[in-house]
Every structure is written in structure tokens, then in C-alpha cells.
Amino acid sequence: MYFIGPHDKLPPAEMANGDGLLAAGTDLNPERLKEAYLKGIFPWYSEGQPVLWWSPDPRMVLFPENLRIRKSMRPLLNKNRFQVTFNHTFEKVIDECGKIDRKGQDGTWITPEIRESYLQLHKEGMAISVEVWDEEQLAGGLYGVYLKEKKMFCGESMFSRVSNASKFGFIKLVQHLEKEGVRIIDCQVYTRHLESLGADEIPREEFLEYLK
């Protein structure tokens, strides 16, 4: 693992260890985040830790054409069970993602520093949010980094207060991004939930080709 100072560049993603951990540092400004995503690297750490930078191998991704919509979701989509907006309330979405209880996770990785940095990326048009509404209630949502020139979306976190709300929003987002020409959605690491939606693991080397 590398230790980087405020003026150091992140090392190449290929230098990450077997767990995908690449580097540790102290800064998490928007310029550092931009550098990281364009190199296939993302931050993930807990409050009290240094900023940890990761690039796992293999990488969990979803190709939009492989999106899997389960039978249980089709009636909800056909009836427009929820209303979906984009970038309507990014701040609320990231706050809700930080509050939600997650199985096997103690606390949240969305630290105040993470929150402020991604809010700045959102103001610059690089981070986007999806809001899922049940009438006037924010029922679910997600946010991530949109590398439009690379035709890639990097998912960061999602939450759901109403059953199936986050799935509904994710499906709508994937369909929207596919129309915009997005080739790949970065899901970072394997989960059964992502696999159920059609995501799969590919070698990091192949993933990095999409960023060249």
C-alpha cells in the first residue's frame, strides 16, 4: 500500500494489493476524486481512518444491455408505481444513504468529508442523483459519478425506505443511461443484490480499458 501526500499523484490502479487496496492519504478534494475515478480508483474508508483508495480485481460491473428485470418488478414498472427524478435533491439522497442501516456494516462510510466532496462534484455536474418518490415521500434513491466522456457511470450508494424503491430507481437509471450511450456501469465489488440485477465481475485490466 502506498502513502500519498496532498501533492502526490495516485499510483496506477494495477499496483493495488490482493484485496484491492491501493493507497492511503489525508486529502479528499474534488480534484483528487476526479483523478481517482478516471484511473479506476475509488475512496472507501470509515471515520477516524485515513482516506483509503481502492481498485479491486475483479471489478463488478453492469453492461446496460444485460440489465435483469425480475418478474416481481415488471408490474411496478408497468404501473409506474413510483415517480423518478434526476438531480432533484442530491443532498437529501446522500444524507439518506448515510443514515440507512446495512446488514454487517457498523456505521457509515459516508463521512462528512465524503459528503462535502461529492456535493462539490454534484455542483460541477459530475456527480448525479436519482430520487424515487412515493407521492410526496422520498422512498429511495442512489447517487454516483457520471464520467460522460468515458460513457461510464460509477455507482456509489443507494437507499430504500419503501420496498423495491431503490431497485425501481436503479432500473430507470440504467435505461436512461443506455439511451445516452453509456457502455458500462461500475458497481465496484460483488454483492448478490447487484448480481440479481445482471451485474457480473470482469478483470480489472478489462475494466480499465473503458477508461482509456
**Strands 184-188 and 152-160, bridge-based pairing:** parallel
Residue 102 — very low, low, confident or very high, per pLDDT cuts 50/70/90?
low
Per-residue pLDDT at 103 exceeds 70: no
Is-contact 122 95, C-beta < 8 A? Answer: no
Is-contact 67 175, C-beta < 8 A? Answer: yes
The pLDDT of residue 46: 87
The pLDDT of residue 175: 98
pLDDT tens across 116-174, in order? 999 999 999 999 999 999 999 999 999 999 999 999 999 999 999 999 999 999 999 99
Per-residue pLDDT at 201 exceeds 90: yes
pLDDT tens across 21-42, in order? 999 998 899 999 999 999 999 9
pLDDT tens across 50-88, in order? 999 999 999 999 999 999 999 999 999 999 999 999 999
Per-residue pLDDT at 101 exceeds 80: no
What are the chain's domains?
2-57 (3.30.70.3550), 60-209 (3.40.630.70)
